[in-house]
Homo-oligomer: A and B are copies of this chain.
Amino acid sequence: MTIYDISEKAGVSIATVSRVLNGSQSVSVRTRQKVLDVIEQCGYTPNAFARGLGLNTMKTIGIMCADSSDLYLAKAVYHIEQKLRSHGYDTLLCCTGYELDAKADSMNLLITKKVDGIILAGSNFVYEKEQDNRYIAEAAAQVPVMVLNAAIDTPNVYSVMSDDYTSMYKAAKEMLSGGTEDILYFYNSTSYSSMKKLSGFRAAVEESVRADSAPLIEYYQGAHEDIHAMVRHLRAVHDRGCRFQGVIAADDTLGLAAVKYASEMGYRIPEEFCVIGYNNSMLAYCCEPELTSIDNKLETLCEHLVATLFGILDGKEMPKKTVFSGEVIRRGTTRSLPPDTEQKKSI
């Protein structure tokens, strides 16, 4: 018996069930009674309702994160923990790695710990195949599950994300309009947000004047921080005859590797070679010239994710999906836009 079953049996939304349990005044007497009847019939009180029923909860939220030492995910964990703490909640951290089985195990573990909610920090938790996301649906039947940077259409799962598709589309459009025609897309993940980014890139390139040529897309599968291996990968692409005068990278580490590659090849940046990274992390300041990168407003996302979670726990109706726009932060690895395109930049 889960919150989902109760809402189904009572014929009301999960939020309504939640409101009833919180004694909210915005539910009609009839609806309230219907929900309480169903709960009584089942004779069962799921963990997630404990707070609503005035029972003690652990006031603990589980954060799952593939790798909390990743520059981007570390920031996400930090912002989320700070905001949970300010609500008086504890953070149980699970670093799961990138394997599905390990993620599912951690999820089950958190459920047995009677956490009040689970936050999936990073879009790598959401898979393309529906059956691979079953572990999320099962957990969401017990407690609200919040997903950062990915969305799935499952009851009691809420998403807060950056519009990765449009950000990448804009980045590719900008680089194309700056005169760089052969752009290589360089990525290292097949997560939900990675696929959105790739689609955005693809759309922009396919709309371009050179629509006859296929988009250049390169997948790097080495270690996430091995910049040297990334540079070797780009060299290998060049050595097999593929020519590109720009790289759009799915994260700043890959972008930084592209800057390094261009320097080693003797290309002048941005005159002969352009690079755009993603995440607008401190790495963007580390190379010479500094890296143009997309700011996906991580802190804002984390803030809304936690606010949404507490809204749900308080029995409020909260949006299933909240999407924020990203922004291209222009630095030395891209050319200034021609004046006539500048005004079109917020496509």
Contacts and interface: CB of A to CB of B under 8 A. Distances in A.
A111 interface: no
Contact of A78 (B69, B85, B253): B69
Contacts of A92: 60, 90-93
Given A77-B68, A95-B81, A227 B285 contact: yes
A48 interface: no
Say which size band chain A's interface belongs to: 35 or more
Given A91-B92, A285-B228, A286-B256, A75 B69 contact: yes
A209 to B, nearest CB: 34
B91 A78 contact: no
A74 interface: yes
A90 B113 contact: yes
B68 A74 contact: yes
A285 B227 CA distance: 7
A263 interface: yes
A91 B90 contact: no
A87 B45 CA distance: 31
A225 interface: yes
Nearest to A224: B282
Contacts of A253: 282
A297 interface: no
Interface string A62-82: 010001111100110111011
Contacts of A78: 67-69, 74, 95
A132 interface: no
A203 interface: no
Given A90-B113, A227-B286, A288-B287, A95 B82 contact: yes
Contacts of A263: 288
A91 B94 CA distance: 7
Contact of A77 (B69, B260, B282, B286): B69
Contacts of A74: 68-71, 74, 77-78
Given A69-B78, A75-B69, A82-B95, A227 B282 contact: yes
A38 interface: no
B81 A68 contact: yes
Given A77-B93, A95-B78, A95-B82, A68 B71 contact: no
Interface string A247-286: 0000001001000100100000000000000000011011
21 contacts: A68-B68, A68-B78, A69-B74, A69-B75, A69-B78, A69-B79, A74-B74, A77-B93, A81-B93, A81-B95, A82-B95, A85-B95, A90-B113, A91-B92, A91-B94, A92-B93, A227-B285, A253-B282, A260-B288, A263-B288, A283-B286
